[in-house]
Amino acid sequence: DGEPFIGDPTHKAKVLYLSEQGNDLVRAMQTSGIDVEDAESIQVVQYRDIWRDPWAENIESAVLTAEDQGREILVVDTFAAFSKLRGSEENDSGSIQERLEPLKSAAHAHNLAVLLVHHSGRDSWIRGSSAFDGTVDIITHLSRREGQQSESERKLTAIGRCAPLNLNVELTEEGIYVPLGSDSRVKFSTAVKAIREHAPRVEAEAKDFDGFVVLVKTASGTEVSKSTIED
């Protein structure tokens, strides 16, 4: 939409979206606040319609479609599905680099912003070969914050050819992401909220301080220090 994202300006651009999602795609887009009727802004190509075609040919067709329709962004979701990664190929540097070549061409030769979506591993980082790290320009990782209780909060991390980013964000009821700050800032803000909710208002409700510390830690889900609560 060209609206600011977590406080930073954005450039409105048309999107060509390759999606592996099936029958629930429309619902998922609506939940994300995407106007499914706005074919001018976003065109979706589903995996089920092109799965028989070779990976390189699909990307070539996508590039031609993007150029013909004046689209600036190509999304591949997910990379493993569309590039037909099988078994151990995900961990093989040669296989990954070979499949990334059509996307590199799309980005450099056709001036497309290419976003590929890939799953995380058990360590909460990119699953598979380190070839991803050495080939793409920027790696952005979206995850739950450790110890997080709110369903609307996520941790956003980015490394690569950009200034490092380590930020917590929250999706508001209006469908807008707002920055919450660093982990320490989020913990502090959560603790303050818990203190305000549970602090006694009158002398008759006074609590033992050590017990109050335990109550705040339990309510906030953070390891806020006793001295911070005391301050």
pLDDT digits (tens, 9 = 90+) for 34-72: 776 787 889 999 999 999 999 999 999 999 999 999 999
User: Is 103's pLDDT higher than 90?
Assistant: yes
Bigger pLDDT: 134 or 115? Answer: 115
pLDDT at 180: 80
Alpha-carbon distance 71 to 67, whole Å? 6
Taking residue 76's Cβ as centre, other Cβ atoms within 10 Å add up to 26
pLDDT at 148: 59
Q: What is the pTM of this model?
A: 0.74
The helix (run of H) or strand (run of E) holding residue 222 is none
Alpha-carbon distance 26 to 34, whole Å? 9
In this prediction, residue 149 has a pLDDT band, given cuts at 50, 70 and 90, of low
pLDDT at 147: 64
Measured between alpha carbons, how far is residue 86 from residues 15, 82, 124 in Å? 28, 11, 21
Tens digits of residue pLDDT in 191-225: 777 777 777 777 777 777 777 777 777 766 666 66
Region of 228 (left: φ > 0; alpha: ψ -120 to 50; beta: rest) is alpha
Q: Strands (DSSP E) along 48-191, which ranges?
A: 73-77, 113-117, 138-143, 153-160, 165-171, 177-181
